[in-house]
Structure 1
């Protein structure tokens, strides 16, 4: 009789425990960022005194603002290109039911199965031939199209009711009008989710930018943090400064998540219901 109630409590306790485990590294990072240097290896989480000036030092003694600006504005440009190309490609693969279109879709998905490292050498060679190494434009061109974005939106576009599509076609809607008046409004939550996913991927991307970008004024926040750890946090010299820089680097993603979390939940819920 009381078994469902016990199951509910067990679920809550499990979720709370997992949440604490997930949040603990961030709590440790925040407390470490305001600790004195001599307490880094003390074994205690709570600092004896709070040194919030470490956050001021992040902007005065490092080039964190440059790193943040590079990562944010390049990520926004990459988002714009990937969303536009993904919408157009997803419409073709979802709306045109011809055999050769589906074959092309399978071939595109096959390229997604390749490890991303396989593309580094040919991409590096191509960018070097057009003198785009160590430039943001070279990185943007290399991230112009996302196979994942195409697949993600194609799955969402495939769930648009056929009755709505036929009604729009009876009203004389062409391809572009169908995209902007039917597909995009119907899948706006999925597009919002994709924007967040793309931003997180581009903002956190490290391996390819580290091979492509060498000058400090062009570095992204991921490369800048590694440089900061190597120069400031090596052997625990200034670990609180490095942790403060890590906390600052997370701010854009937390802001974006807070703004778009409602649409993400709605998108995931709609996908679940449609299944």
Structure 2
């Protein structure tokens, strides 16, 4: 009975895994198909056209779009994680009523739809003459409410005995942050880095309102333009699918590198509950 239950669980997990990865498998198969077989009904192509991936970098500006998205996302990660660490420390350590009230206000703003902030943010960035610049977008993503909340929930789980021992040893606020809280929360910070990168890398609506010049475009906007200009009505769908597959590589690499820390972070949160 136990073996049957275990086998059934593995079967369900396999089916769920297949459902989740099937769109990526279909995308890859379409990217290597000849154009005349797109609507043939065959899953596997008769000939494999891997040159579509070479065309992504020779016939489009995909390399430029990837570079823009990656370096802007990395800068945003640095600012968001550092600001979140400092803010989370304050909200986790200082128990004064006005500090906790500020935390509640910050969480309340997180409940607002992001679209509400587009118009005032656009006006502010316009008055700063930063439209169509990466700096304007970076400044608009300087702080993340989710990151503050996520790290605050991790920081409150730091053993009080360790904090008191560090204080008795003469540790100030900065020393506490860098010698106690960050080492204790390194798995959660790794998870936050991955989440922040995925959000920033995949963000489309807000960057599309700010960025208009082609040389400053991110990969999401570039893919949209590619689908509209070269893949419209299925004219060159394999090229568009190859570009989409290439755009996923940075996220797969980051996930492979930080996979172990993410699992440890999630498991520690579960155990501490």
Per the TM alignment, residue 178 of structure 1 is displaced from its structure 2 partner at its CA by 0.3
CA distance in 1, matches of 2:139, 2:42: 47
Q: 1:168 aligns with which of 166, 171, 193?
A: 166
Per the TM alignment, residue 45 of structure 1 is displaced from its structure 2 partner at its CA by 1.3
Per the TM alignment, residue 71 of structure 1 is displaced from its structure 2 partner at its CA by 0.1
The aligned counterpart of 1:223 is 221
Helix, strand or coil: the match of 2:248?
Answer: helix
CA distance in 2, matches of 1:42, 1:70: 37
Q: CA RMSD in A?
A: 0.5
TM-score after normalising by structure 2: 0.99
Per the TM alignment, residue 269 of structure 1 is displaced from its structure 2 partner at its CA by 0.6
| Structure 2 unaligned regions, length at least 5 | none
Pairing of 1:87-236 with structure 2 (within 5 A): 87-236=85-234
**Which aligned segments of 4 or more residues in structure 1 are displaced greater than 6 angstroms?**
none
Q: 1:56 aligns with which of 50, 54, 61?
A: 54
Helix, strand or coil: the match of 2:174?
Answer: helix
Helix, strand or coil: the match of 1:78?
Answer: helix
The aligned counterpart of 1:15 is 13
Over residues 184-232 of structure 1, what are the superposed CA-to-partner deviations in whole Å (9 max), with x where a residue is unaligned? 0000000000000000000000000000100000000000000000001
CA distance in 2, matches of 1:143, 1:44: 44
Mapped pair 1:77 → 2:75: yes
Q: 2:41 aligns with which of 40, 43, 51?
A: 43
CA distance in 2, matches of 1:148, 1:43: 44
CA distance in 1, matches of 2:22, 2:3: 29
User: Between Structure 1 and Structure 2, how many residues are aligned?
Assistant: 273
The aligned counterpart of 2:26 is 28
| Structure 1 unaligned regions, length at least 5 | none
Per the TM alignment, residue 127 of structure 1 is displaced from its structure 2 partner at its CA by 0.4
Per the TM alignment, residue 6 of structure 1 is displaced from its structure 2 partner at its CA by 2.1
The aligned counterpart of 1:260 is 258
The aligned counterpart of 1:248 is 246
